[in-house]
Structure 1
Amino acid sequence: MPQLDTSTWPIIILSMILTLFIMLQLKTLKLVFPLNPAPKNMTTQKYNNPWEMKWTKIYSPLSLPLQS
């Protein structure tokens, strides 16, 4: 049974890692990031709802008296 020649494995693994690193660097070079990101001005608008002016009481089903 012939033996597997593993003498070239370190060279192949190192060249693969180097190739992946170079490809990753080339991919990230194409990305464009904003230089100075400015915070957005978040202004909330107040809407007048008719039910906000009234006092309402909400009954949950568990707080109602038992009916027999």
Structure 2
Amino acid sequence: MPQLDTSTWFITILSMIITLFLVFQLKVSKHNFPENPEPKLMTTSKTTAPWEKKWTKIYFPHSLPLQ
């Protein structure tokens, strides 16, 4: 039974890693990054839900006095 020839594995794996690195660098270099990123000022609008119009109180069982 013939033996598996592993003499070319190193150069194959090394060339694959170099090729992937170059492809990744080309992809990143074509991407346009903003020169001076600044946070956007967002205005939050207050939405009123029907249950916010009434006064409600939720009683937590542990906050009730002992009986």
TMscore range, shorter length: 0.5 to 0.7
**TM-score computed with the length of structure 1 as normaliser:** 0.63
What aligned pairs does 1:1-68 form with structure 2 within 5 A after superposition?
1-44=1-44, 51=53, 56-58=55-57
Q: Which runs of 5+ in 2 are unaligned?
A: 60-67
Distance 2:47 2:17 in 1: 58
Moved more, 4-13 or 33-42: 33-42
Shift of 1:37: 1.1
Distance 1:32 1:11 in 2: 34
**TM-score computed with the length of structure 2 as normaliser:** 0.63
| Pairwise CA RMSD | 2.9
Aligned-partner residue type, residue 38 of structure 2: A
Larger radius of gyration: 1
Distance 1:34 1:17 in 2: 29
Q: Kindly tell me the number of residue pairs found equivalent between the two proteins.
A: 58
Query: Share of identical aligned residues, percent?
Result: 60
